[in-house]
């Protein structure tokens, strides 16, 4: 792997970094709503950095996973960055799914306006107990064959972005008698469909994103055959195709937040004095800085290697799991140390650290909790020996 970035990518990275610094971070104090996001996206379009992951035919830059990881780190320096570039979850993953598996008609109806930012989407797979959480084979939502289509009945929650969304990509069991990972299909469900009910946005530790983490009810929701995404029974396979590279971009977005957190802490300890010298001169502070730099460096290299393998056509599910565990935990450590170095100021909302800390805690849970990924990693290693 060549770790040198091409000059055009370096220039694009620097443009994204400047945009986040000059346009996005100054907007962090404003209420996060659709109007603010639309305004930032208009600026991103003018800057030529909108939709880096989107196909060119849908108004994006059509970049591969390696350059995406480079850019997503810069976007992640602000909780508004990925929204501004229109590469935030769940829309990013949903657009990826639609670009790969949607029919031409589905792309025109759903992908094109979603890429244009005309509406928001969500992805509904997780269910409250005893339904699917870390084990998706426990899914209880059912899609039953009826004349001309399917009837969906079930209960979903933690459907990120569902409040105000127009489209929900819904996972449901379409063949309960099939093998465990061939039972489910994906369905394109318009949120104005009869029987679709938005129940609530679940209160959480975070809460600065659009659409919340939501609870949904499906009671006899009818979708026609042309609302099946991909082939029936391919739901789990498509979910893995969606999630494996998405975990890498999640990692890089959070690395951007962690890198900014360390920089904020370093600026603070270089100016703050205690016990006769700058905080930066105390060994205890220096060790925290060193440990955070080690975490960031290792995380970045780990993700970039997995991204490079993906671009070579390799199956990166194993590497993706390794990245997910290590980076999610490293990011939490880096942000926690930054708060500690900044003391009471870090704990306050005068700095973005407390917000990053609350939001980053979920990173060890979503897209597969650390425990599940460790289980998968261990099985892979044991199987090789």
Boundary (domain end) residue, out of 67, 99, 131? 99
CATH number for 154: 2.40.110.10
Q: What is the pLDDT of residues 256-274, one digit of tens each?
A: 999 999 999 999 999 999 9
Q: Is the same domain home to 82 and 149?
A: no
330-364 per-position pLDDT tens digit: 999 999 999 999 999 999 999 999 999 999 999 99
Q: What are the residue ranges in the chain where pLDDT is below 70?
A: 207-208
In a domain, 130, yes or no: yes
Answer yes or no: are the C-beta atoms of 192 and 177 closer than 8 Å: no
CATH number of the domain where residue 331 is located = 1.20.140.10
The reply to whether 194 and 213 lie within a common domain is: yes
> Taking CA 6 as the corner, what is the angle to CA 5 and CA 9, rounded to the nearest 5 degrees?
85
Same domain, yes or no: 143 and 279: no
Q: Has residue 31 been placed in a domain?
A: yes
Looking at the structure of the chain, the number of domains it has is: 3
Indicate whether 192 and 261 sit together in one domain. no
220 and 248 assigned to the same domain: no
Assess whether 245 and 380 both reside in one domain: yes
Residue 115 maps to a domain? no
Q: How far apart are CA 156 and CA 39, in angstroms?
A: 32
Q: Which domain holds residue 23?
A: 7-99
pTM: 0.94
Q: What is the pLDDT of residue 33?
A: 92
CATH number for the domain spanning 71: value is 1.10.540.10
Do 36 and 93 reside in the same domain of the chain? yes
Indicate the residue among 65, 99, 133 that finishes a domain: 99
Residue 106: inside a domain: no
Instruction: Judge if 240 and 380 occupy the same domain.
Output: yes
Whether 110 is covered by a domain: the verdict is no
Q: Write the pLDDT tens digit of every residue in 39-81.
A: 999 999 999 999 999 999 999 999 999 999 999 999 999 999 9
Asked if residue 134 and residue 261 are part of one domain, the reply reads no
Peptide bond into 358 cis (omega under 30): no
Give the C-alpha separation, 303 to 71, whole Å: 13
Query: Given this model, what pLDDT does residue 275 score?
Result: 96
CA distance 228 to 186: 6
1 domain residue, yes or no? no
Residue of 306, 240, 270, 294 whose CA lies nearest to 101: 240
The strand pairing partners of 186, in sequence order, are 171, 229
Helix (H/G/I), strand (E/B), else coil: 223: strand
Domain C-terminal end among 181, 208, 229: 229
Is 185 contained in some domain? Answer: yes
Asked whether residue 285 falls in the same domain as residue 254, the answer is: yes
Q: Write down the pLDDT at residue 208.
A: 59
Does 354 lie in the same domain as 324? yes
Residues 297 and 343 in one domain: yes
In a domain, 108, yes or no: no
Q: How far is CA 141 from CA 93, 165, 198, 201, 217, in A?
A: 21, 20, 15, 19, 10
Question: In this structure, what is the dihedral angle of CA atoms 320, 322, 328, 332, given to the nearest 10 degrees?
Answer: -160
- What is the Cα–Cα distance from 96 to 87, expressed in whole angstroms? 10
């Amino acid at each position: 792997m060549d770790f040198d970035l091409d000059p055009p990518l370096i220039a694009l990275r620097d443009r994204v970094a400047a945009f986040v610094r000059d346009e996005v971070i100054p907007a962090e104090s404003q209420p996060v709503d659709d109007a603010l996001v639309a305004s930032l996206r208009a600026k991103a379009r003018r800057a030529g950095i909108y939709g880096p992951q989107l196909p060119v035919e849908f108004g994006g830059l059509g970049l591969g996973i390696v350059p995406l990881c480079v850019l997503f780190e810069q976007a992640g320096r602000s909780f508004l960055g990925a929204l501004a570039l229109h590469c935030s979850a769940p829309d990013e993953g949903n657009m990826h799914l639609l670009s790969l598996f949607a029919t031409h008609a589905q792309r025109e109806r759903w992908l094109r306006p979603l890429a244009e930012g005309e509406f928001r989407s969500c992805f509904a797979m997780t269910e409250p107990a005893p339904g699917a959480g870390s084990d998706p084979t426990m899914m209880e939502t059912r899609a039953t064959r009826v004349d001309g289509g399917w009837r969906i009945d079930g209960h979903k929650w933690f459907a990120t972005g569902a409040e105000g969304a127009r489209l929900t990509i819904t996972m449901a069991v379409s063949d309960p008698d099939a093998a465990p990972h061939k039972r489910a299909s994906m369905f394109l469900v318009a949120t104005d469909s009869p029987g679709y009910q938005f129940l609530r946005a679940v209160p959480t530790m975070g809460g600065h994103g659009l659409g919340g983490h939501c609870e949904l009810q499906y009671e006899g929701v009818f979708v026609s055959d042309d609302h099946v995404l991909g082939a029936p029974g391919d739901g789990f396979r498509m979910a893995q195709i969606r999630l494996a590279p998405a975990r890498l971009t999640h990692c890089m977005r959070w690395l951007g937040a962690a890198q900014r957190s360390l920089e904020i802490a370093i600026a603070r300890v270089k100016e703050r004095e205690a016990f006769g010298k700058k905080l930066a001169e105390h060994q205890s502070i220096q060790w925290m800085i060193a440990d955070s730099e080690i975490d960031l460096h290792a995380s970045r290299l780990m993700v970039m290697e997995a991204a490079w393998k993906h671009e070579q056509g390799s199956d990166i599910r194993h590497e993706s799991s390794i990245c997910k565990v290590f980076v999610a935990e490293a990011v939490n450590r880096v942000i926690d140390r930054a708060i500690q170095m900044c003391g009471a100021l870090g704990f306050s909302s005068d700095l973005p650290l407390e917000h990053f800390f609350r939001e980053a805690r979920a990173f060890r849970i979503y897209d597969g909790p650390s425990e599940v990924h460790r289980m998968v990693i261990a099985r892979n290693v044991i199987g090789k020996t």
